[in-house]
A and B are shown apart, each in its own frame.
Chain A
Amino acid sequence: MDLHIPELADQEKPEKVNYRIIYRLLKHVWPYRGRIMAASAMMLIATITTLAGPYIIKVAIDSAILTSDYRQLNWLTFLLAVTFFLNWFSSYWQNYLMSWVGQRVIFNLRQSIFEKLQGLGFKFYDNRSTGEIMSRVINDIDALNEFITWGIVHIAGDLIVLVGIFVIMLSENVMLTALSLVTFPFFLLVSTFFRNRVIQAYREVRGKMAAVNSYLQENISGLKVVQSLAREEKNSEAFSLINHHNMKANVRAAGLFAVYLPVVEVVGALGMALLLWYGGREVIRGVIQIGTLYLFLDYLTRFYAPLRDLSQIYNNFQSAMAAGEKYFQIMDAKPNVEDAPGALRLPEIQGKVQFQGVTFAYEEAKNVLEDIQFTVEPGQTVALVGPTGAGKTTLISLLCRFYDSQKGSVVIDGHDLKEVKVNSLREQIGLALQDALLFSGTIKDNIRYGRPGADIREVEEAARRVYIHDFISSLPQGYDTPVRERGSNFSMGQRQLISFARTILRNPRIIILDEATSSVDTHTEVSIRKALKAITAGRTSFIIAHRLSTIRSADIILVMDRGRIVQEGTHRQLAEMPGLYRELLNVQIIDEDELFTDLLQPQEEAF
C-alpha cells in the first residue's frame, strides 16, 4: 500500500544535486562500516529466505503433492518453517543494526552542528530566525536519517530482491518471465504520472492547512482585541472561507489518491490475467508444471513493492541532498570573530578602555559606527545615551568582541582586542542584556550560569548584593524555585535583578548593562537603582541608560546619534550647553507635564 505518498509532499527539493555532499555524508557513516557490513550480510540472508519460501512451495506442489510423496512433503514443510525462522532472525539483526547506525550518525551530526552553533558569532544569528536554525538541527537531520538508514541498505535490498526474482524466473521459463514483466512499464508510467500529481495536491493541502492554523493562532492569541472590537461575526465568516479552501484542497487530493491506488492495482491485475491465461496453456501443454505457475504468480506480487520503492528513491535522495546541503552550509560557516594565530590570553583587566577611531558596519557601506574615539579610566561609569539606532548596542558589542570593527581598534589596558583570545576577554566581562533572559532550571542555576562551580553561599551573596535575596528566600522553594520558560513566572524587574546577580557572581572586571526601558513598579525600581550602584562600584562600567537617575550618576556621558559620538561630558556640563543631550532631556521632562495640561484645557472643542 502506498499510504505514505501524502508524506512525500513534505519533502523539499534542492535546485541541483551536489554530489560532494553525498561523499561528505558517507564520511560520517564510514566509522560504522563494520556494522553496515554485518547488516548487509543479514539482509542477504533475509532476502534469500524470503525468496526461498515460494520456491519451496513450488517444489512441494510439483514433487510432493502431485506425486503423493508424504515424506518429501514433511521434509519440505520443515524446510519452509526453517527459512521463516531464519528470516525472522536475520530481519531482526538487519533492522536493528541499520537503525543503530542511522541513529548513531544522526546523534553525531546533531552534536557537531550544535557545537558548531555555539562557536558561531552574532553575525550568523543576526540574519537567521530561531525557527530556521531549529529546523536545521531537528527536521533536516531527520530527513538525513531516512536516507542513511533506508537509503543505503534498502536500495541494495530492493535491488537484490528484483535481481533474485528475475534470475529465478528466467531459469524457470523465459517466455513466462517476459509476460510477467510486460506490464511493468505501464506500472511505472501510471505511478509516476499519478504520484507527482498526488504529491502536488498534498503540497497544496499543506499550504491551506497552514493558512487555517495561522489564522487560528493569530486570532486566538488576539482574542482580547477581537472581543473588545466585537469582530466575532466577521471573523467567523473569514475563517469559514479559509476553512472551506482547506476542505476543497483536501477533497481534491483525496480524490486523486483514491483514483491512483485502484488504477495501479488494475495494472497489476492485467499482468496476472496474462500470466494465468498463457501459463495455464503452458501447463496443459506440459511445458511447465503447476508449481512453476504458482511460483510466477507469487513472485509477480513481490515484484511491485521494491519496484515502487526504487522509483521513489530519487525523491528521497533529493530531499536528503537538500537537507544535507543546508546542514553543511552551517558546518562550513566561519565564525565572524576568531582568535588570531598566536593570540595571547588577556591578563587580568585593570579597566582602562579606549576606542581608537573605530568604524563598524554590519553590511558593506552602511556604517553603524563612525570614527568612535574615547577613553575610559579604570573604575569609571560610562552612560551611553541617544535615540534608537544611534549605535549604542553596537558599541558595547564591539567591546565584548562579538564583532570586529572594520577600522580602528578597541583597546583594553593597552591590548588590542583583536590580538587576544576571545574567551579570555569575555570571561572578564559581565554583560546584562535588556531582555534579562532566564534559562529553564532553578534560580540558583540561573544565577551561577556564568560560573557553574559557585556554591550556594556565593550565589546568595551575589543575590544579596543586588537586593533580590529577600525576594528569593521568600519563595516557598527559595533558590531552588524552577524558572518557567523564559522566566515567565517572574516580573520584568525580578528577572533583571536575577540577571544582575548572574553578572556580579562572575566578578567581572568590566560591566556592561543595557538598562531595560520597560517600567517596573516603584519598589523594584528602587531596588534596581541600588543594585546598579552596587555592581558598578569599583569597576569600569558601561550602561546604555534610559533613566535620568542613572545618567545623572555616571562619570562620563557619551551622547550618540547616527553612529557618532556627538557630545561627551558629565550631566552638569552637558545640561548647560545646547545640543542633543538637552533635547533628549527636555522630551523626558516635558512629557511628564505637557500631555494632560494640553489635554484638559481644550475640552470644549471636542463637543
Chain B
Amino acid sequence: MNVTKRLLILLFPYRFWVAASFVAALFVMVLNLTIPQLIRLVIDRVILENQLDILNIIAAGVITVSIGKAIFTFVQRYSMEYVAQKVIFDVRNKLYRHLQQLSLGYLGKITTGQLMSRVTSDVETLRRFLDFGVIHFLQSFLTIIGILIVMFIMHPLLALVSLASIPFLTVTIWKFAREVKPAFSDIQHQVAQLSSVLQENITGIRLVQANTQEKGEAKKFHGQNKKLFDSNIFTAKIWSFYLPLMHFISGLGTALIFWYGGRLVISGQLLLGELIAFNSYLLLLVMPLRMLGWIISLIQRAVSSGERIFEILDSEPEIKDVPGAKDIGKAEGFIQFEQVSFGYDQGNMVLENINFQAEPGQVTALVGATGSGKSALVELIPRFYDPQKGKILLDGRNIKTITLESLRRNVGIVFQESFLFSASLAENIAYGKPDATEEEIIEAAKGAQIHEFIISLPQGYQTIIGERGLGLSGGQKQRISIARTLLIDPRIIILDDITSNIDTRTEFFIRKALKNLMKGKTVFIVAQRLSTLKNANQILVLDQGEIVEQGSHHELIRSGGRYAELYKMQLYGVEPTAS
C-alpha cells in the first residue's frame, strides 16, 4: 500500500479532530482576508465619502475579527497538534512493541544506531509533518485559494497584473529550495565528520600524546574545520542571494500594483481603498508561497521516514510461536541437537550437521577459534535463531513446538558483556522476574557473591546504576547478571565466554558465584581459555561450523588431536622450557 495513504490512515481515528482543525483553518482564512476589506472601507467609504458614522463599527469590526481569528487559530493549531501527538504516541508504542518481538536475525541486519534513528528521528520527522506540516499546508493552501478568489472578484484585470510577479517568485522559491537543501545536508555531513574526527581524537588523546602527534592531529582537524567553514559559506551565499531576491520580486509586484492600480484610480475605474487592499493581498500571498516549498520537502521527508517505519512494522517476526505451541512450565533440561545446520543468511552456513546431547547436571564446553560457530550454537537453544536444517529437542520435544516465553524462561544466559539497565540494583536483579520478593532478590545476590558489596552501598539495593547512576566494574556487573539469572532459576544455563574481561582476583568471586548458579543444571560454556574446561563432562571442539572432536578433557588429551595441541600451546606458550 502507498505510504502517503497509510500515513493518512493513521489520522483516521482522530478524524473529528482533524475536521475541526480544517473548519477552523477555513475560518482563519476568511477572517484573514477580511482585514484588508475593512481598511478599504475606511478609505473608500469613511474618508472619501465622508461616512463618519461607520468608522466606529469598522474599528470594532477589526477587533472582533482579530479576536475571532485568534480563537480559530487556537482551535486549528491545538486540535492538529493534539492529533499529531496522539498519532505519534500510538506509532511509538506500536513500533517498540513490534521491535521487541523481532528476532535477532532481523536485528542483525540493522545496526542499533539505525534502529535508534528509526524509532527516534524518523518518528520525529513524522511528528513535524503531522503538526507543522499539516497545519501550514492547510493554511497556506486555503489562503492562496482565498486570496485569488477575492482578487479576481474585486478587479480581474488588476488581479492579473498584480499576480504577474508570482510565477517569478515561485520559480525563485523552487530554485532556492533545490539549491539550499543539499547545501544544508552538506553542512550536517561536515559537522558529523568534524565530530567524528574530534571524538576519535579525544578518546585517543592519551595515544596522541604518547606518540607526540599533537601537531598532526591539529592539521587533520584544520582540514575538516576548513571544509565545514567552506560549506557554511557556500550555504550563506545561497541564502544571502535568494532571500533578498524574493523580497525584491515581491517588491516589484507592489510597484506594479501601484503603477497600474494608480492609473486605474486616476481614471476612476478603481477606488483608492481597493488599490491598498490589493497590495495587502499580494503581501499576504508571499508567505504561504514560501511555506509551500518548505512543506513539500517536509512531506518528502515524512514519506521516506514513513517508509522506514512501516518497513519495521511490516516485518514479520521470523521467530514466533507456531499455532498450538505448548507451554511446558518447568523443564528437566535434557537437550538434543539432531543434524542441525544453521547460517545467519542462506548459503553461508555457520553450523553444519551438529549432533550431540546434554543431560541435566552435565557441563558441556564449546571450544574453537573465533568464528567457529560456538556462540551461534548456544544462541539456537533459546531460539534467538531457528536452524535451517535439523531440530533441537528439549526433554524430547522440538523447541519449535514450545511457546517462546516458556522456552526462554527455562534458559538462563550470562553474556560476555553484562548488560544492565539504568534502574536500581534490586530491579536489575529482578529483571526477569519483576514480582520477586525482597528475600528472593537478596538470596540471589548472596548466591552471586554480590550481596556484601550491595549492602556496603549507602542506598543498598535501591542504588541506581547505569549512565546517571553508580558505575560498576566489569566484575560487579557480571555478578549482578549472574544474580539475575539465579533468580529466574532456569534449568539450562549458557555462559558465553564470561570470564574473559575480568582480572584474576575478581574472577575468583565470579567462579564462586557461577558454582552456585550451575548446580544441577544443564550447562553450556563457551570458552577461550582451555584451562577452565578440564572438568567439563564433555567438550565439543568446533572448527568451521563442525564438531571435529568430542569427549572429556582426558579423552581428548589422550587422543592427541586438535584439542591436545591447542591445550599444550596455551599451557606452555612459546617457551615450554620455562616451566
Contacts and interface: CB of A to CB of B under 8 A. Distances in A.
14 contacts: A65-B275, A87-B248, A138-B195, A223-B99, A224-B384, A224-B419, A230-B432, A284-B46, A402-B209, A440-B196, A549-B573, A591-B504, A592-B531, A593-B534
A96 interface: yes
Interface stretch (A10-18, A273-281, A340-348): A273-281
A501 interface: no
A361 to B, nearest CB: 20
Given A65-B262, A65-B275, A84-B247, 16 more contacts: A60-B258, A70-B263, A80-B251, A81-B252, A95-B244, A114-B217, A121-B209, A227-B408, A230-B405, A236-B100, A244-B89, A273-B60, A276-B38, A277-B58, A402-B206, A549-B574
Interface in A228-250: 228-232, 234-236, 239-240, 243-244, 246-247, 250
B431 A229 contact: yes
A603 interface: yes
Nearest to A110: B225
B419 A225 contact: yes
Contacts of B181: none
Contacts, number: 432
B4 interface: no
A95 B405 CA distance: 62
Given A68-B266, A266-B66, A449-B211, A437 B77 contact: no
Contacts of A529: 573-575
Contacts of A175: none
B244 A88 contact: yes
Contacts of A172: none
B145 interface: no
Contacts of A395: none
A77 B42 CA distance: 25
B15 interface: no
A372 B214 CA distance: 31
Interface in B212-246: 212-214, 216-218, 221-222, 225-226, 228-229, 232-233, 236-237, 239-241, 243-245
Contacts of B349: none
B85 A107 contact: no
B551 to A, nearest CB: 15
A281 B52 contact: yes
A290 interface: yes
Interface in B21-60: 35, 38-39, 42-43, 46-47, 50, 52, 55-56, 58-60
A224 B378 CA distance: 13
B84 to A, nearest CB: 8
Contacts of A254: 77-78, 81-82, 85, 131
A431 B207 CA distance: 8
Contact of B211 (A60, A96, A506, A519): A506
A247 B262 contact: no
B120 A216 contact: yes
B519 A597 contact: no
Contacts of A60: 258, 262
Contacts of B69: 262, 265
A596 interface: yes
B18 interface: no
Contact of B204 (A250, A255, A437): A437
Contacts of B101: 232
A147 to B, nearest CB: 16
A95 B241 CA distance: 9
Nearest to A289: B47
Tell which of A57, A294, A387 has the most Cβ of chain B within 10 Å. A57
Contacts of A73: 258-259, 262-263, 266
A219 B497 CA distance: 22
Given A73-B263, A115-B218, A290-B47, A433 B78 contact: no
Contacts of A213: 116, 120
A125 interface: yes
Contacts of B501: 517-518
Contacts of A125: 202, 205-206
A529 B573 CA distance: 7
Interface stretch (B301-309, B409-417, B440-448): B409-417
A442 interface: no
A84 B251 contact: yes
A279 to B, nearest CB: 8
Given A65-B262, A290-B272, A595 B532 contact: yes
A220 interface: yes
Ranked 3 nearest A-B pairs via Cβ: A596-B535, A606-B520, A269-B66
Contacts of B225: 107, 110-111, 114
Contacts of B434: 231, 234
Nearest to A258: B77
A99 B230 CA distance: 11
Interface string B413-437: 1010001011000000001101000
Contacts of B38: 276
Given A73-B266, A236-B100, A251-B82, A118 B214 contact: yes
B66 A227 contact: no
A119 B127 CA distance: 45
Interface stretch (B6-14, B450-458, B506-514): B506-514
A261 interface: yes
Contact of A273 (B63, B191, B245, B254): B63
A262 B369 CA distance: 69
A225 B255 CA distance: 69
A584 interface: yes
A91 B212 contact: no
Contacts of B203: 130, 437, 486
Interface stretch (A156-164, A308-316, A422-430): A422-430
Interface string A49-69: 000010001001100111010
B82 A521 contact: no
A239 B93 contact: yes
B211 to A, nearest CB: 4
Contacts of B505: 387-388, 584, 587
Contacts of B228: 107
Given A103-B236, A227-B384, A440 B200 contact: yes
A523 B236 contact: no
B67 interface: yes
B160 to A, nearest CB: 18
B503 interface: yes
B70 interface: yes
A452 interface: yes
Interface in B507-547: 507-508, 511, 514-515, 518-520, 528-532, 534-537
A87 B254 contact: no
A99 B42 CA distance: 44
B244 A388 contact: no
B59 A274 contact: yes
B255 A227 contact: no
Interface in A88-110: 88-89, 91-93, 95-96, 99-100, 103-104, 106-107, 110
B51 to A, nearest CB: 10
Interface string A124-136: 0100001001100
A236 B63 contact: no
Nearest to B468: A214
Given A53-B251, A280-B46, A437-B207, A265 B266 contact: no
Given A265-B66, A266-B70, A290-B272, A216 B535 contact: no
A43 to B, nearest CB: 12
B472 interface: no
A65 B257 CA distance: 12
Given A450-B213, A530-B574, A546 B272 contact: no
A192 interface: no
Given A227-B408, A276-B39, A280-B47, A517 B209 contact: no
